Structure 1
Amino acid sequence: MVEDDAPSRQLLVRRLSHAGWQVLDAPDGPSALEIVATHALSGILLDMGLPGMNGLEVLQRIRQNSTPLILPIIMVTAFDERDYLAEALSKGANDFVSKPVDFSALKARLKAHLALAETSKSLSSLQARQELILRGANDGIWELDVQSGRFNHSQRWLALLQCQSNQADMTIEQWIARVHPEDQDRIAMFIQDYLGGHQSETLSLEYRIRREDGHYLWIHTRGAAEPDSSGQYAYVAGTHTNISKDRYKHQVTGLNNIACLSDFLVSMGSFQPEKSLGILLIIFNYDSQSPKERDIYRHIAESLAKELYLKIPQVLQVGTGKETNHLIIITEPMQTGNLNLTEMINTTIPIINNIILQSSDAGNISYHCGLLEMKHDITNNGEPFTNVLAAAEHAAEMNLPVYAFDASLREKSERKKLITKSILEAIVKKNICPYLQPILLNGREIAGFESLARWHHEDLGMISPAEFLPIARTSGQMLLMTQSLLDQSLEALNLLRKKRLVGDQIYVSVNFEAEQLLHSEFEYMLENETQRHGLHPHHLCIELVESSWLDVSKSLRECLNRLRARGYMLALDDFGTGYSSLSMLNQLPFSTLKIDQSFVRNMLSNHSTQSLVEAIIAIAKALKLRIIAEGVETLEEERFLLEAGVELTQGFLRARPMAMEALQEWLGEHSQQ
């Protein structure tokens, strides 16, 4: 037993000893290697995260003199070390267990590998002897005769796959045919390479396998082989472990996850393509930052799943969507041969309401539902969840309890798919480009510009930022798009300076999200871009959208302080619309505060909004911040703001956001006024 944590090591030594094994222990790698060199060991439990010489290095040293069949090694790993498991298995580890160690599972697996080592010289009896030992570990045994290309499986594994005894023997091709379509090529290629002698003696694979009822299991296949005199493998044997619980369960709710639900539709499409199904997606609204409300929602999700399975026989699956607060219910027709969506809702909604009412302190939790009817079209496992989510989101937008996916949403969904598909190309080709909107001092003199993203699509025309920015965010393209807009904005400002259309004091303001500032390369990228365009830090204002951060982390505060010290201007955008507090505003080194246009739009018609604007101005002045009012569209609004002490304004009253050609023309006319 090799473990650097003394209490953990001593506990396992005691339990292993009580189980009947003689145990030697070591606190580090060198001590372990000394024991290996001086004792005849049956097996090793090896901690991955040892100090100094780590577990992988110790494993590599041991495998120089002993094979996995002779001396089994089980790695003991913490959750954050699991990325190293593939390397450990490729270097000769037989198995692994995760911390905290489940002793019953460890005991079963240790017995299995020790028995496998003891019987490696008599492989003909391996299957029967291992069957008894592995029963408690829920594993199945397999053998492969390489020459005949035939698999043989234990009865335990045949039962998990719902196969008959006469199916214990199958060819490699028959086994691969059971593998999930998305995994087939990978598994087939691996087997071909492995049997060709291009891999290590041990193997470890994770993939999905189809049961007789068409549903899939996630399994972990392990095995080992010894080459014959010619170096070729003649016989391979190992185990299958059912790992569906790890791969198909959501970590928060404990329900089936989106991968499980997707594979369920794949299996239904393959085996019952004519079957009609109904999908109900419920978006629960709660404060995900509140541990209390997260626990309440988890309880609601668990209770709802139990009640639905119990009270509605037609419910086939209940699971969690891509987001934790998305609950998905898949049902078969409520009436024979006819899916009745109304009946589905009328049966399900009362159960949801009753569970929420029974949950204490669940008053802040609400929900919206999306419905989708699938008739003879369930072979595409991705579209149904996208479509039913669109229906639920539409219900939320319209403040409706439920909305069924229809032709109008299909058109909207198709448009969203087209935007998602083409957004990366649009970023790379700079079809998404900045339009610059002048920021004016006292309504007349140019102080700077705000860079606003615009996209003219060749088929869809002008796409609103409100439409493509969320897609850029969810598709992981937001950082790349921001970098492109920064590059184009700085290039535009430099061009205006070279043409003497603006002075050296003019800056351009670019919007960033808090997480982008915390990227490891952000500050280097910022400095590189400004220098490359012949500009200095004072030519760039970094706008941080208030709604993009929830609290002030130490890293964010330190980053903003460094940027301010280097001369960049920092602006807090859309103040009053997000989550910040006055203490947060006081902690961060902003130079500018921007009043959101929603306040400006209503301030002359709503006394409360006007008072709020005046309060924001007073706060900014107290903190010695420059103030910019956005969305100024009338002379009355501009006059009120200037008289209230706001010197900088931007809005349609004086200038709209403009492409470079139009902006240069506007600047030429403006300079003559």
Structure 2
Amino acid sequence: MLEGTVPPSSSVTASVLLVGPEPGGYDGPRTGTDVPVGPPAMLRAPGLAAALDLLASRPVDCVAVDLGLPDAHHPETWRALRAHSRGAVLLALVDGSEDDAHAGLHLADEVIGRELLVGPPTPRLWRRLLDRARVISELRTSEEATRRMSAILDVLPDAIYCHDPEGIITSWNHGAVQLYGYTSAEVLGRHVDLLHPPDTHEHAPIMSALRRGEPVRALETVRHGKDGVPVHVSLTACPEAGPTGELRGVTVLARDIGDRRYLQDELLRAFMHDGLTGLPNRASLVDRLSRTLARDAAEGRPVAVFFLDLDQFKRINEAQGHVAGDRVLAEIAGRLLRLLPEDGMVARLGGDEFVLVSRDTDTAAAAAIADRIFAALAAPVRLEGRAVHISASMGIAVSPPLDPDAESLLRHADAAMYEAKARGRSRSQIFDVSFAERSRDQLSLSGDLRDALARDRLEVHYQPIVALDGQRLVGVEALARWNHPTRGMVPPSEFVPLAEHSGFVCELDRWVLARACRQVRAGQVAGTLPDGVRVSVNLSARSLADPDLVALVRAVLDAEELSADSLVLEITETALLQDIATARRSLQGLRGLGVGIALDDFGTGYSSLSFLRELPVTQVKIDRSFVCNVARNQEDRLITQSIVDLAAGLGLETVAEGVETEDQRALLLRLGCANAQGHLWSRALPLAEVLAQASLGSPVAPLVPGRHAARRGHPGRRWGRAGWRRTPVAGAGPAVLPGGVPGTVPATPPDAGHQVAEAVRAGLEAGEAWLVVATDEHREALRAALGPDHVAAAVRGGYVELDAADILARLCDGGAPSRERFDGSIGELVRHLHRSSTTVRIYAELTGLLQQHDEPAAASAVEGLWEELEDVTGVSVWCGYDADHPLALRHAEVCTRHEHVAWHHGTLRGSTAS
């Protein structure tokens, strides 16, 4: 049975149809009948029409057509036979006289001589026909399979080619053309070395394996295409063995793995690099730094690691969004890369932290590189047409002398960076062993504090608040105390900032609030607490910004069953200024509960009580810096008197803090201050001890000898009527100017302070409003020079003071000043001042302070903000500078930027630019 034919009838196994006249000498059946000669069977049809009729009803294996028939030369006849024969082999019977153009010669499967059919149709004859037909059919099937396989190979994306044992290419599919770029004509007959990159030696070992009959599977390697570009492929080579096992040829399948390799490389890059900047990440940094340290340590070459943290970067994200923050990070990364030594490395660890690695860099060379880094960061980053100034704190660790271990060196540089931040930001610090010890100590102490808070192991002590007229107990201030199990008493000045830095100061506030309300309520129930005594609890700036603060206080009061009028919450001016809008909402909600609100440390921030009228404050606490010298210093006495008078005019209670002597108490009473607290009566004690010392309703006698507290302000520098002067600081050496050169601040005639004061006084008398942004000492001296003039202006809302150091901390915190924060603090105050006067003037020392701290870039940025404020609001700004500071701007340069300039030498000397 031939492949592709329809099975014959069940009476025979094979059949042949002879189309044409009867062979000579034969007198058998004439039309369409079986010849009874046994298998194989023969059918006969006298013409092509009869053959088509017979084929329509019965399949055959072979059709032999005599080309002498009249219609046998028509191509359509042969196409009809081919269509009706159902795959049977078509034979053309010829006698050699036919024209070469005869259709049958070209459309038949094979041509045979007519002489084969002379005589009777014997079984042997028909078997010969069928054998020939079978061979033809098998050849046809083989050719079809070959065509099919070739078509499949050409549509496969893989390159498939063959070469002989000598490496000569013998076949080449379309996939190979696509992969390598060579056409079949260009590679057939050439050696496979054509595809190998230069200096490769893979062919010999591959051929050795193939000659042993071993296929090569999935060998990942590189080949070269026609254009010379490397092609990453996975090769599979199969040997073709001869009869005796010898290698006759090789079939190679080459699969393009370029995309996979690219994806692998990208995944590896993503794992080892920062997605935003493209810099190596921590994993890549540690790996490369470890190898660098191992290599250079063996050669005795020093390696320096610079750990950078951008100062107050989160404020950029908060003010301008993360897209702007990402642009800043990318810009900083680019600057650091341009600064990188040829064999160095820059990495981003995440957030706003970057690390630079420099080889052959000892401590002295590291300091020089640090200066170059700061210089590279000094230029502002432009964001939507606005200049954003960036600064960084930097820690430096050098090996040797430190151990050549990547992780420890990074930790040391990190510890040095935090030390730089602690010392004022925007500076560098080389690692010292004490930094790591202090860092570990702070980390350990922070964990201990969290544990103590969770296990209820803190304490609350109370300092009495006394009515000065009869020295009755009117309140107690709740203060947290921590008795560490191994360190003993840890002062609040240490653990409260630690809680703020570690992020759980709100939890500490809530704990103190709940404990104080519980203990005070217990005293009320027991009858040991005098009627009307209130408990004051301090709130941090973070707690004040908590949107759930009012609900929290209500829940505590309800849980402890304490009436709201028994509680006073104390807040600082600094906490208020961080977010006035949120503070106003929180305070209004608290006052709605009936809770009292005390403004703590009053006088150290700004002193506009008309501004305070907008906040529901019920009590003002006079800062101890004014109280400590109130009995001896006329200026402090005047300030205290002004605060008391202003508070009384606004209906606010006053509490003087830090009273330590009888003279202070007596004077405060004469000035009209209602209440006070301090060591004159008692330090902070457990509530039971406080109540034991103050029996119900009886006067509270002084309990502890008084002592003087240190004046607040900048250590070692005072500004009074005598002007600037250098004063000694305990344990301090000579002043150090940039570059490490010891220096001093020269003194000059003390006349400038009075001239500035006269300008302010004249403006206030003319109905102008003034904002003063200066240091503590300068504001003290200005108030003393103005006398009572500024008090009336403050009452009408026309005079506001701000501490320059606090404002700088909020504007830039050692980093780039923020336009949003500038507008939110200075701008809002200017708008407030415009309510009381159409003319607003400002005296500010921000840029002078920035120059004194060696921050010229930030100083220039603040100059720009002042200029914009002048242009937008029409205010007049006087800027104060230290003319003797090495980084001070030239007189002519400053005078072109401002209408009014004040130069410090020993004092402020007012000058107007011409």
CA contact 1:273–1:376 (8 Å) conserved in 2 = yes
1:245 matched to 2:275? The reply is yes
2:287 aligned partner: 267
Query: Does 2:404 align with 1:376?
Result: yes
Contact residue 486 and residue 510 of structure 1 kept, 8 A: yes
Instruction: Give the structure 1 partner of residue 345 of structure 2.
Output: 316
Task: Using the TM superposition, give the Cα deviation of residue 380 of structure 1 relative to its aligned residue in structure 2, in angstroms.
Answer: 5.8
Shift of 1:547: 1.6
Q: What are the Cα deviations for residues 277-323 of structure 1, in whole angstroms up to 9, with x where unaligned?
A: 4224466589969989x99999998776545433440552265886x
CA shift in 2, pair 1:283/1:520, >3 Å: closer
Aligned to 1:638: 665
Q: Give, in angstroms, the shift of residue 590 of structure 1.
A: 0.7
Q: How many residue pairs were aligned?
A: 438
- Name the SS for the 1:342 alignment partner: helix
Q: CA deviation at 1:662?
A: 3.7
1:356 aligned residue (370, 378, 385): 378
Counterparts in 2 of 1:330 and 1:410: CA distance versus 1, 3 Å: same
1:331 paired residue number = 357
The separation in 2 between residues aligned to 1:372 and 1:593, in whole angstroms, is 49
Q: Distance in 2 between matches of 1:648 and 1:210?
A: 74
2:558 counterpart residue number: 531
Change (3 A) 1:296 1:499: same
Query: Per-residue displacement from partner, 1:220-256 (whole Å, max 9, x unpaired)?
Result: xxxxxxxxxxxxxxxxxxxxxx9x435xx5xxxxx97
Q: CA deviation at 1:474?
A: 3.3
* Equivalent in 409, 416, 424 of residue 435 of structure 2: 409
| CA deviation after TM superposition for structure 1 residue 536, in Å | 0.3
- The match for 2:652 among 602, 611, 625 is 625
Assess, with a 3 A threshold, how the Cα gap between structure 1 residues 423 and 376 changes in structure 2: closer, same or farther. same
Partner of 2:416: 388
* Structure 2 counterpart of 1:347: 369
Letter paired with 2:456: K
Residue of 566, 570, 573 corresponding to 2:600 = 573
Amino acid across the alignment from 1:317: V
Equivalent residues of 1:281, 1:388 under 8 A apart:
no
Change (3 A) 1:393 1:552: closer
Match of 1:435 in 2: 461
Please say which structure displays the higher CA radius of gyration. 2
How far apart in 1 are the matches of 2:600 and 2:462? 16
User: 1:653 Cα deviation (Å)?
Assistant: 1.9
601 and 458 in structure 1: CA distance in 2 versus 1, 3 angstrom threshold:
same
For the residues of structure 1 that align with 2:439 and 2:472, how far apart are their CA atoms? 45
| Aligned positions of 1:180-219 closer than 5 A | 217-218=270-271
Counterpart contact for 2:535–2:566, Cα < 8 Å: yes
SS of corresponding position for 1:462? strand
Task: Report deviation, 1:265.
Answer: 4.3
Where do residues 472-621 of structure 1 align in structure 2 (5 Å cutoff)?
472-517=499-544, 519-550=546-577, 554-578=581-605, 582=609, 584-603=611-630, 607-621=634-648
Separation in 2, partners of 1:286, 1:472: 21
Provide Cα deviations, 1:623-645, integer angstroms capped at 9, x if missing partner.
21111121222223323322222
Alpha-carbon offset, residue 588 of structure 1: 0.9
- Cα separation, partners in 2 of 1:635 and 1:500, compared to 1, 3 Å: same
SS in 2 for 1:560: helix
Residue pair 1:490, 1:533 contacting (<8 A) in 2 also: yes
Kindly provide the amino acid, as one letter, of the partner of residue 348 in structure 1: A
Residue aligning to 2:189? none
TM-superposed CA distance for 1:430, in Å, is 1.9
SS of residue in 1 equivalent to 2:536: strand
Change (3 A) 1:526 1:355: closer
Alignment counterpart, residue 305 of structure 2, candidates 278, 301, 307? 278
Could you say if the C-alpha distance between residues 585 and 671 of structure 1 is closer, same or farther in structure 2, counting changes exceeding 3 Å?
Answer: closer
Aligned counterparts, 1:31-180, within 5 A? none
Bigger mean CA deviation after superposition, 272-281 or 352-361: 352-361
Which whole-Å CA distance do the structure 1 matches of 2:220 and 2:653 have between them? 74
Instruction: Classify 1:491/1:273 alpha carbon distance in 2 versus 1 (closer, same or farther; 3 Å).
Output: farther
Normalising by the residue count of structure 2, what TM-score does the alignment of the two structures yield? Answer: 0.41
- Structure 2 CA distance for aligned equivalents of residues 410 and 385 of structure 1: 9
- Judged with a 3 Å threshold, the aligned counterparts in structure 2 of structure 1 residues 269 and 286 are, in CA distance, closer, same or farther, namely closer
- Which residue in the other structure is 1:235 paired with? none
- What's the counterpart of residue 836 of structure 2? none
Give the CA deviation at 1:497: 2.4
| CA offsets 1:548-589 (integer angstroms, 9 cap, x no match) | 243555554233223213211111122233468545422111
Question: Can you give the 5+ residue segments of structure 1 that lack an aligned partner in the other structure?
Answer: 1-123, 133-150, 156-162, 170-208, 220-241, 250-254
Q: Is the 8 A contact 1:215 1:264 kept in 2?
A: no
Alignment partner, residue 882 of structure 2 = none
The alignment partner of 1:390 has SS state of helix
Q: Cα deviations across residues 33-80 of structure 1 (Å, max 9, x unaligned)?
A: xxxxxxxxxxxxxxxxxxxxxxxxxxxxxxxxxxxxxxxxxxxxxxxx
Query: In the TM superposition, what is the alpha-carbon distance from 1:349 to its structure 2 partner?
Result: 0.9
Distance 2:657 2:265 in 1: 60
Q: How far apart are the structure 2 equivalents of 1:154 and 1:582? A: 80
SS at match of 2:496: helix
TM-superposed CA distance for 1:381, in Å, is: 9.1
SS, match of residue 379 in structure 1: helix
Q: Compared with structure 1, are the counterparts of its residues 216 and 461 closer, same or farther at alpha carbon in structure 2 (3 Å cutoff)?
A: farther
Cα deviation, residue 367, structure 1:
6.9
Note if contact 1:215-1:267 (Cα within 8 Å) is conserved in structure 2.
Answer: no
Per-residue CA distance 1:447-467 (angstroms, 9 max, x = gap)? 111111211111222222222
Code of the residue aligned with 2:346 in structure 1: it is Q
User: Do the aligned residues in 2 keep the contact of 1:266 with 1:380 (CA within 8 Å)?
Assistant: no
Q: Retained in 2: the 8 A contact 1:262–1:382?
A: no
- Contact 2:339 2:373 (C-alpha < 8 Å) held by counterparts: no
What is the percentage of aligned positions where both structures have the same residue? 23
TM normalised by structure 1 equals: 0.54
Structure 2, gaps ≥5 residues long: 1-155, 159-174, 179-217, 223-229, 237-262, 297-302, 702-914
Deviation at 1:344, TM superposition (A): 1.2
Q: Distance in 2 between matches of 1:407 and 1:541?
A: 45
Corresponding residue SS for 1:587: coil
Letter of the 1:346 counterpart: A
Matched AA of 2:287:
S
The 3-state SS of whatever aligns with 2:553 is helix
| Segment drifting more, 656-665 vs 589-598 | 656-665
1: CA distance, partners of 2:268 / 2:363: 25
What letter matches 1:408 in structure 2?
S
Moved more, 549-558 or 418-427: 549-558
In the alignment, the residues of structure 1 paired with residue 506 and residue 627 of structure 2 have an alpha-carbon distance, to the nearest angstrom, of 30
CA contact (8 A) 1:574 1:596 kept: yes
Aligned pair in 2 of structure 1 residues 654, 305: CA closer, same or farther (>3 Å)? Answer: same
Secondary structure of the 1:631 match is: coil
Distance change >3 Å, CA 295–CA 464, structure 1 → 2:
farther
Deviation at 1:486, TM superposition (A): 0.9
> 1:420 is aligned with what amino acid?
S
Residues 158-204 of structure 1 deviation map (CA, whole Å, 9 limit, x = unaligned): xxxxx9958999xxxxxxxxxxxxxxxxxxxxxxxxxxxxxxxxxxx
| Cα distance between partner residues in 1 of 2:460 and 2:219 | 64
Return the offset for 1:347. Answer: 2.9
